[in-house]
A and B are shown apart, each in its own frame.
Chain A
Amino acid sequence: MLSSVFFYLFAGICCLAGLMVVSSRNPVHSVLFLILAFFNAAGLFILLNAEFLAMLLVVVYVGAVAVLFLFVVMMLDINYSELREGFQKYRSLGLLIGAVLLVELFATFFEYSGNVKSLPSPGAVHNTKALGQVIYTDYIYLFQLAGLILLVAMIGAIALTLRKRSGVRKQVIADQNSRTRAETVKLAKVETGAGVKEAS
């Protein structure tokens, strides 16, 4: 009973937030609604006993992807009115695809008989623990491979974007800190009316 209350709460907010993502005029608001949708989807996962997926959704999608979206939206100078014109242009195609998806969804809904094979029962262990039991033993090879791929991604991103430009005056803190007083300060006695000779 309580779980179905929460299901309708999460699912309802999720749908509303999804609607707001595409309909809100301000792109920053869209991203914020997207984050709301992610949170509610995570709640749905928890109702399904998939707490690891819920955590993953929050950490990866809210923590990384949505923040990246926010950065892109706020830092890139995109003309949204032009984008909306494109939206009008492809509206018929979009409606067609949407209709196909809707028909598919209804077809699935009416075909659903309720006696499909249920999810495998989680058993005594939580799925985070169950994952932990195999990821470092049975699937250590894939785990290490994923690590190598991430290392490559990091090296590749740095190798492509880090470049040394000549003629740029960079601040070298170590050099500044190691300067002595004698190198930098010069006391000069200035005679009246003579001015200071130019610094050497």
Chain B
Amino acid sequence: MEFSQITISAALPEFILISLALVMVLIAAFAKQTETDGEGSIKLVRTLSLLGYFAAFLALFSVPDGRIVLFNELFAVNDLVIYMKGLILVGAFFASWLVSEQWGEGVDRPEFHLLVLMAVIGMLLMVSANNLISLYMALELQSLPLYVVAAMRTSSLKSSEAGLKYFLLGALSSGLLLYGASLVYGFSGSTNFEAIASSLSGGASVGMIVGMVFLLSGLAFKISAAPFHMWTPDVYEGAPTPVTALFAIVPKVAGMTLLMNVTYSAFGNITDQWMQILIALSVASMIVGATGAIMQQNIKRMLAYSSIAHMGYALAGLAAGTSEGASAVVIYMTTYVFMGAAAFGVIMTMRREGTPVEKISDLAGLSASHPLLAAAMMVVMFSMAGIPPLAGFFGKWYVFLAAVNAGLIPLAVIGVLTSVIGAFYYLRIIRLMYFEDSDAPLDDGASHQNRMILIISVGFILLFFFGIGTLSQEAVSIVSVYF
């Protein structure tokens, strides 16, 4: 294998983050772990990881255009992959930035940022996977640290439960995925995506389709699409809130990109077969997400169901199987990252007498005590419900448009109906904030970084209107690699 200039620049973001991770292992190991000095080392590690995400983001611009295949065809980059990597890094930056050093809940340790960095490396490698083996290994590199950070709050039974549940179900889904991968390998004779695609040019055998179903089920678990969503509410509720923010913002983008990669490049010749699976996943996710969220009392659980519904909408675009649908997914995931960051930017300021609270009813009367925060939350909720002219509206608009143009009118109708149901619980939060009183208002004083994140992400949601034309053109051009 030659280690040329192209190798370095195409994988430069990963090189940067991996080297940084190894340095951070040493810092975390040798830093003094006492009460006072521990804070210094976690500050250092957190700053380093933020700088790392930023540097990796800049390094993405040095990746040459077009499709590049590296490392014995195990690793591939193209325009779509680069864009999604950028989105992942932005999301990871937000998620790490949201965690202040004083948050507690077990995440005030240098290992937390180290594990998150490792998971982000796994996600970047995952979206670049061009082979079933590298897909699986990157997926595990992404999942393992997430299992650990979900259980990071060792003093809490719920956090341990979240970690255990996530681990067991994650291991099960990895098993499904591996079984599917072995069948796909057996019936196509290769683990390479291009070789699989060329072996499918004359249609697929039954064994191949069974393998693909298992493979897609394993991936559906990772993006928590129904009926593989069971873990999501419990893990979101039990994990420390900064970890939930991370779960809600970043891994879904990586999982969705991987799903796009697998369906469009490896199984691009048997679109009809996987379209049915994705349609079923999409309908189930939209219905489960919309109806499950209605009864929730905990805002993290509610957002878990909301994220299931969002995945359903994004899958509807993917299920269209057209370039329009793929570009709609790109737009949808872009808005999703910013909406998630904004929602958790608000949730993580919710404190009463210093301790974090996470009941939906705690938001009552927020407009009187914290008018700006309430306004920000209102924008996020309207956007998630899909009210024009906010970002969430355009995400849904493009997805449903693609579904209708691909002839999937029932899917689009179900999507619109479930958005109406979904609007109920988003609007309930707005009603609570504006029309109800609370005798115990929340604490003042959002931290500096929370304010910055809210300004950036809410600004993005409000001003998305102006950029949508450019973004939709850009999205069409970056997904053209698959069509």
Partner-B contacts on A (CB < 8 A): 137-142, 145-146, 148-149, 151-153, 155-156, 158-160, 163-164
Q: Does residue B260 face the partner (Cβ distance < 8 Å to A)?
A: no
Q: Does residue B147 face the partner (Cβ distance < 8 Å to A)?
A: yes
Q: Pick the contact of A142 from B109, B112, B115, B137 — CB < 8 Å?
A: B137
B:173-198 near A, CB below 8 Å: none
Closest-by-CB residue of A relative to B28 is A155
- Are the CB atoms of A155 and B114 closer together than 8 Å? yes
- Are the CB atoms of B140 and A156 closer together than 8 Å? no
Q: Does residue B262 face the partner (Cβ distance < 8 Å to A)?
A: no
- Are the CB atoms of B1 and A149 closer together than 8 Å? no
Tell me the interface secondary structure of chain A in the complex: helix
CA distance A141 to B70 in the complex (A): 9
Return B125 CB to nearest CB of chain A, in Å: 7
Given the complex, which residues of B lie within 8 Å of A148, measured CB to CB? 18, 21, 118, 121, 141
Given the complex, which residues of A lie within 8 Å of B72, measured CB to CB? 138-139, 141
Given the complex, which residues of B lie within 8 Å of A155, measured CB to CB? 25, 28, 111, 114-115, 118, 148
Since A145-B125, A145-B137, A160-B163 are in contact, a sample of 11 more A-B pairs with Cβ atoms closer than 8 Å, ordered by chain A residue number, is A141-B72, A141-B74, A142-B74, A145-B134, A148-B18, A148-B121, A149-B137, A152-B118, A153-B144, A156-B144, A159-B112
User: A141-B75, A141-B134, A145-B134 are known contacts. Are A152 and B25 too (CB-CB below 8 A)?
Assistant: no
- Are the CB atoms of B138 and A145 closer together than 8 Å? yes
CA distance A72 to B134 in the complex (A): 33
Closest-by-CB residue of B relative to A141 is B71
B:119-141 near A, CB below 8 Å: 121, 125, 133-134, 137-138, 140-141
CA distance A76 to B1 in the complex (A): 49
- Are the CB atoms of B133 and A142 closer together than 8 Å? yes
In the A-B complex, list the 4 residue pairs whose CB atoms are closest, starting with the nearest: A156-B148, A141-B71, A159-B111, A145-B137
Q: List 25 A-B contacts (CB under 8 A).
A: A138-B72, A139-B74, A140-B71, A141-B134, A142-B134, A142-B137, A145-B138, A145-B141, A148-B118, A148-B121, A149-B141, A149-B144, A152-B118, A152-B141, A155-B28, A155-B115, A155-B148, A156-B115, A156-B145, A156-B147, A156-B148, A159-B109, A159-B152, A160-B154, A163-B154
CA distance A155 to B148 in the complex (A): 9
- Are the CB atoms of A137 and B1 closer together than 8 Å? yes
Q: Does residue B33 face the partner (Cβ distance < 8 Å to A)?
A: yes
Q: Does residue B151 face the partner (Cβ distance < 8 Å to A)?
A: yes
CA distance A149 to B144 in the complex (A): 8
Return B170 CB to nearest CB of chain A, in Å: 13
Return B35 CB to nearest CB of chain A, in Å: 10
Q: Hey, what's the 0/1 contact readout for B61-72 against A, CB within 8 Å counting as 1?
A: 000000000111
Closest-by-CB residue of B relative to A159 is B111
Given the complex, which residues of A lie within 8 Å of B121, measured CB to CB? 148
Return A145 CB to nearest CB of chain B, in Å: 5
Given the complex, which residues of A lie within 8 Å of B154, measured CB to CB? 160, 163
- Are the CB atoms of A151 and B125 closer together than 8 Å? no
- Are the CB atoms of B25 and A146 closer together than 8 Å? no
